[in-house]
């Protein structure tokens, strides 16, 4: 089923509006100043595969974090265990996709007339989630166990009610439990708002029209990017920079190297020349690096381009296991300096 161009643009604007409304809700209901004033949070709509359908970019890193978090949930919970009224939570950099422990993701499944059609999701920084220092931001951490409580993808709400055992674990590991739980409840509320708005959109245009429009918008974004890339000169281009140190080995600069190979409408980012993972918390996980590459392309091509899974189709990247941009568990990642 094809969607006419006018309807397609209306749906794209509605999806973007839904995500922005979710963010406004979260910024107004968050308990901590980190959310209410710093606005260190973002929201997105995903499909059932965990791919981004719509996202309003507040923090570019989250473009890669959301799909990685969803992937972790889908590995832990088959479709038969995902129900209306559920909410899932994770802040694990390795088993999920969070940049570091304070960034906690909440994903709620979107159901339309009893059928699961996607996720409403958000991610927000927490005031304290344990670890060796208040704020969970130790610059001296040597492994993620020193950076705070890490939740693998788990069910946080079931049947619209919080799983009290999960909240008890979070409370027991935070120096500011009321702020953290208050922020998490606000995240769930913002996601529920996204659920309702997507259902309303499907009531207006029909489920199949919305799903087809999602695919069409992804196709448009991919085509727009590839046509722009095709105009650039082919070749291999390299660049590098250095971070002074990781906070522990003060005499060891950290090499960040990328080789970009462009051929026709394809582009490849090669990070295998980056330095080894650090003892300190300067490491960063690959999904976040890919997100930065994708955001660079968006800025170069069209800042108004729809943010969706098309970016993952276009951005191809290679990493070396054990490097600063692809650290091996349990390397510390709290500052993700590169």
Domain of residue 24, CATH code: 3.30.450
Range of the domain at 297: 233-318
The answer to whether residue 336 is domain-embedded is no
Q: Strands of the chain (E only): list them.
A: 41-46, 52-55, 87-90, 103-112, 115-125, 154-158, 161-162, 235-243, 254-263, 266-270, 315-318
**Domain assignment present for 327:** no
Is the bond preceding residue 330 a cis peptide, omega within 30 degrees?
A: yes
Do 293 and 260 belong to one domain? yes
* CA pair distance 217, 310, nearest whole angstrom: 9
Tokens 């968006």 sit on residue = 298
Q: How many domains does the chain have?
A: 2
Per-residue pLDDT of the chain (338 residues; tens, 9 = 90+): 688 999 999 999 999 999 999 999 999 999 999 999 999 999 999 999 999 999 987 788 899 999 999 999 999 999 999 999 999 999 999 999 999 999 999 999 999 999 999 999 999 999 999 999 999 999 999 999 999 999 999 999 999 999 999 999 999 999 999 999 999 999 999 999 999 999 999 999 999 999 999 999 999 999 999 999 999 999 999 999 999 999 999 999 999 999 999 999 999 999 999 999 999 999 999 999 999 999 999 999 998 899 999 999 999 999 999 999 999 999 999 998 76
Flag whether 328 is in a domain: no
């Amino acid at each position: 089923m094809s969607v006419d161009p006018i309807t397609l643009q209306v749906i794209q604007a509605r999806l973007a509006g839904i995500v922005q409304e979710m963010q406004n809700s979260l910024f107004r209901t968050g308990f901590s100043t980190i959310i209410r004033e710093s606005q260190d949070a973002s929201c997105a709509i995903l499909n059932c595969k965990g791919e981004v359908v719509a996202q309003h970019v507040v923090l570019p890193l989250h473009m890669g974090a959301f799909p990685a978090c969803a992937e972790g949930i889908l590995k832990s919970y088959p479709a038969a265990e995902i129900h209306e009224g559920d909410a899932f939570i994770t802040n694990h950099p390795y088993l999920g996709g969070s940049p570091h422990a304070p960034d906690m993701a909440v994903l709620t499944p979107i159901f339309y007339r009893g059928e699961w059609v996607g996720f409403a999701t958000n991610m927000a920084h927490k005031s304290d989630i344990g670890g060796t220092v208040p704020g969970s931001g130790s610059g001296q951490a040597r492994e993620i166990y020193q950076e705070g409580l890490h939740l693998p993808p788990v069910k946080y709400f079931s049947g619209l009610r919080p799983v009290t055992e999960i909240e008890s674990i979070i409370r027991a590991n935070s120096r500011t439990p009321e702020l953290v739980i208050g922020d998490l409840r606000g995240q769930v509320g913002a996601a529920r708002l996204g659920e309702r708005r997507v259902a309303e959109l499907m009531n207006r245009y029909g489920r199949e029209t919305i799903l087809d429009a999602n695919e069409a918008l992804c196709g448009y974004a991919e085509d727009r990017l590839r046509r722009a890339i095709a105009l650039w000169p082919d070749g291999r281009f390299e660049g590098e920079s250095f971070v002074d140190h990781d906070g522990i080995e003060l005499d060891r600069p950290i090499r960040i190297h990328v080789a970009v190979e462009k051929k026709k409408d394809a582009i490849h980012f090669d990070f295998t020349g980056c330095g080894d993972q650090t003892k300190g918390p300067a490491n960063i996980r690959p999904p976040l690096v890919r997100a930065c590459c994708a955001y660079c392309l968006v800025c170069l091509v069209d800042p108004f381009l729809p943010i969706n899974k098309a970016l993952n189709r276009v951005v191809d990247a290679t990493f070396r296991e054990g490097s600063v941009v692809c650290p091996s568990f349990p390397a510390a990642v709290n500052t993700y300096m590169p």
